[in-house]
Structure 1
């Protein structure tokens, strides 16, 4: 694990449980710092498009039934194809996770060589599990209390308590996040409060909208 330095492109991993508000935090960072934000979910969607290696592998695994009329992978059809099939899900993840990591690492290396940005922020639910501590200069944990996260998920996504409890049970606990991350943003309150914490951490950099 490195350390943040002025004059270099710093790599910061962002993680946290569902409902913690990672997207809100990253939007603030994106608007106020000279950086690039990479969302692993967006990358996962991109690499499933025609022309990328994951496309061919997924079609070979699941069949052409997962394709839409435009020849691209249809997300719903793909979800239906692996529904309640742990073996297929595992095989899909074995295709996607390495491909996502490789894609993100290539972006990071490109931005480092360019040297135009102060930061590259990488958001991924499995940041710790996928070994981003070996890639990033710092890992940041976006925290919100379980009560707040439940309220947010009910309001924004209409989730039931049962579904939320099931999701929480499959994610890392608070202690594990804190053990592996160098900085914790308490996002239980407003984005104004979270922004102050971020600005304090990055006090050596003047806030500057990304180009």
Structure 2
């Protein structure tokens, strides 16, 4: 195992590929920390955090709950059918999420306690993370498996799944940037074996 050097690994994949399942296993398997970009985006919208005031100023206090925090459902309803507002919210959130994550990468590198720092994000490639991580891992599952998972776990219709898939990178794009591909289409034990072998190399 490397001494005093944190390996930074970006983890990405399409919706329904099973990123959470893979990352839960990774968490148990090595000395690591996992940063979930969606969780960061939620945290920085809390009262007192960097994105709270800009978003409330943009969308008005109609999006606040009784506790004064931003209500996710109210916010989603406000921007759902307004592409301009959605773009403006993303222009507030995306740079702030990136700044937070880049700061945490530097912090963990200087602490030198972890062996690995994993960054999970759907838009790793689009946001240029392939340039700041040591490796980029792509979690793959074939489309039929992903569709079945999304129907079972989230109750999505085929039409909704079609819309989501249209907005995501194609498999060949993910593979073009990936240093390592985990095939999570089948048996969970097979997925774990792939991860064990990869972690054993480092």
- Alignment counterpart, residue 136 of structure 2, candidates 136, 139, 142: 139
- Alignment counterpart, residue 180 of structure 1, candidates 177, 180, 194: 177
**CA shift at 1:59, angstroms?**
0.6
**CA shift at 1:107, angstroms?**
1.1
* Gapped regions of structure 1 (runs ≥ 5): 206-211
**Structure 1 residue 113 and structure 2 residue 121: aligned?**
no
Maintained 8 Å contact 1:6/1:204: no
| Residues in 1 aligned to 2:11 and 2:65: alpha-carbon distance in whole angstroms | 33
| Residues in 2 aligned to 1:148 and 1:80: alpha-carbon distance in whole angstroms | 30
Identify the residue that residue 161 of structure 1 maps to in structure 2.
Answer: 158
Maintained 8 Å contact 1:43/1:100: yes
Maintained 8 Å contact 1:178/1:184: yes
**CA shift at 1:132, angstroms?**
0.3
Maintained 8 Å contact 1:21/1:142: yes
**CA shift at 1:63, angstroms?**
0.6
| 3-state DSSP of counterpart to 1:154 | helix
Identify the residue that residue 124 of structure 1 maps to in structure 2.
Answer: 121
Any runs of at least 4 consecutive aligned residues in structure 1 with deviations exceeding 4 A, and if so which? none
| Residues in 2 aligned to 1:92 and 1:143: alpha-carbon distance in whole angstroms | 29
| Residues in 2 aligned to 1:167 and 1:38: alpha-carbon distance in whole angstroms | 23
Q: Normalising by structure 1, what TM-score?
A: 0.93
Q: What are the Cα deviations for residues 24-71 of structure 1, in whole angstroms up to 9, with x where unaligned?
A: 000000011100011000000000001112001001101111111111
**CA shift at 1:190, angstroms?**
2.2
| Residues in 2 aligned to 1:154 and 1:125: alpha-carbon distance in whole angstroms | 19
| Residues in 2 aligned to 1:200 and 1:58: alpha-carbon distance in whole angstroms | 44
